[in-house]
Copies of this chain bind each other. A is one copy, B any other.
Amino acid sequence: MTSVSVKRLTTQDENFWSELDGLLAWEGVSDEQVAGAVKEILTNVRRRGDEAVVDYTNRFDRMSVQSMDELDIPQARMQEALARMPADERKALEFSTQRLFAYHEYQRAESWSYTEPDGTLLGQKVTPLDRVGLYVPGGKASYPSSVLMNAVPAKVAGVEEIIMVVPTPDGEINDMVLAAAALVGVDRAFAIGGAQAVAALAYGTDTVPQVDKIVGPGNIYVATAKGMVFGTVGIDMIAGPSEILVVCDGATDPDWVAMDLFSQAEHDEDAQSILVSPDAAFLDKVQQSIDRLLPEMEREAIIRQSLEARGALVLVENLEEAARVVNYVAPEHLELSVEDPDELLENIRHAGAVFMGRYTAEAVGDYCAGPNHVLPTSRTARFSSPLGVYDFQKRSSLIMCSPAGAASLGRYASTLARGEGLTAHARSAEYRMKK
């Protein structure tokens, strides 16, 4: 049994916080060459539409199609994939979809308004986005669960049309992705990917309708393209590597905790798994579990590299100090594997999703518990939220003045507008005061 060398940190060390900073440091790749290539693709697709999309798809995905028609994935094709799906996987996908809908229903915002004594109405009208683009990666990283997680909140919000794009390199198409799309009600799909797919969705072409927002994960070309079209359309957060932070009081089975760390680490070499505990002996036990269990894992090499490069076992004084570490890290996934998770939660301010108690594996949240698995990474949980229905709804302020309200509000508006030197503002308010 080779030992896995996972970094040990302790808050007692006077350099602890700067060491923690070093461990967390992650800069998204910002490559000038990628940016140049993406800019050119965006410009070409904007100018030449379908023709450019077809050219790039033939080149990058090694296809040989003549027109966009051949890249249209008809609804019937998605339904076929669903019909062909093995029964147990279909049942699991249906179970997951149903639970996602149930949870996300709670997130739907409703319009509201109130009327003041003088008859003036104030409020907020909530409306869904009209049309949303869903990017699904091709090849290995193509997950049906990701289709569900991105589409369900849009559906609950009331988005009328969901357009999916998924590259099919060498013509290879992922049936599970199509089945998930059929299950969740994706309206149209195209076999395109990369920056060219993002451009087609952002600007629209003769074949691909222009959308109002683009969501879903992708490689560096896709992420760069999303950053560049932001403003023309909305985008979701651009995700960094996946992370988990487990807080354990020392009384959970160390094998369980080790496997939870693995479940994050197996995503990719840059994924980050951190265990925080006030029990030094427990940290040793988890290290032993890691050493013992790792050779059994299918994705052993990835897990080892991730744990050795970016993992850590952190000794803290007590659970209060653990909460301080958590709030600094603002982890994407937080597991509170402790006796009283409710009490500890009171001190938690920043985390994407919190898995409470010894019986809650992070993995159930990835698939079927109900909450979304698209979560803020790289400390962005300090200011952002899981993907949700609120990402597919937007608000319009409503103001309807009664004549009395126009008079009383107009007076103050006029004073403030004149104070700022904006006299047309002042006069437009004053007109309504005369009557």
Contacts and interface: CB of A to CB of B under 8 A. Distances in A.
Interface of A: 28, 88-89, 91-93, 95-96, 103, 106-107, 112, 114, 120-122, 124-125, 127, 129-130, 143-145, 176, 212-213, 231, 233-234, 238, 253, 255-256, 259-260, 262-263, 265-267, 297-299, 303, 334, 341, 345, 348-372, 375-376, 378, 380-386, 388, 390, 394-403, 405-406, 409-410, 412-417, 419-429, 431-432
Nearest to A296: B427
Contacts of A267: 422
25 contacts: A88-B415, A89-B415, A89-B419, A92-B415, A96-B412, A122-B370, A125-B345, A231-B238, A233-B383, A256-B431, A262-B427, A265-B424, A266-B423, A341-B400, A352-B396, A359-B405, A360-B401, A361-B428, A361-B429, A361-B431, A368-B413, A369-B409, A372-B397, A386-B395, A388-B395
A328 to B, nearest CB: 11
Nearest to A237: B231
Contact of A399 (B303, B356, B428): B356
A145 B420 contact: yes
A395 B352 CA distance: 7
A399 B432 CA distance: 53
A231 B28 contact: yes
Contact of A382 (B96, B130, B265): B130
B420 A368 contact: no
A23 to B, nearest CB: 17
Given A256-B431, A354-B397, A405-B359, A424 B262 contact: yes
Contacts of A365: 397, 399
A418 to B, nearest CB: 9
Contact of A428 (B262, B376, B413, B428): B262
B381 A396 contact: yes
A370 B398 CA distance: 10
A356 B431 contact: no
Contacts of A383: 129, 212-213, 233-234, 394
Nearest to A129: B383
Contact of A359 (B129, B144, B351, B432): B432
B260 A428 contact: yes
Contacts of A366: 413, 417, 425
- Interface centre among A255, A356, A402, by most B CB within 10 Å? A356
A72 B25 CA distance: 30
Contact of A231 (B378, B398, B415, B423): B378
A424 B303 contact: yes
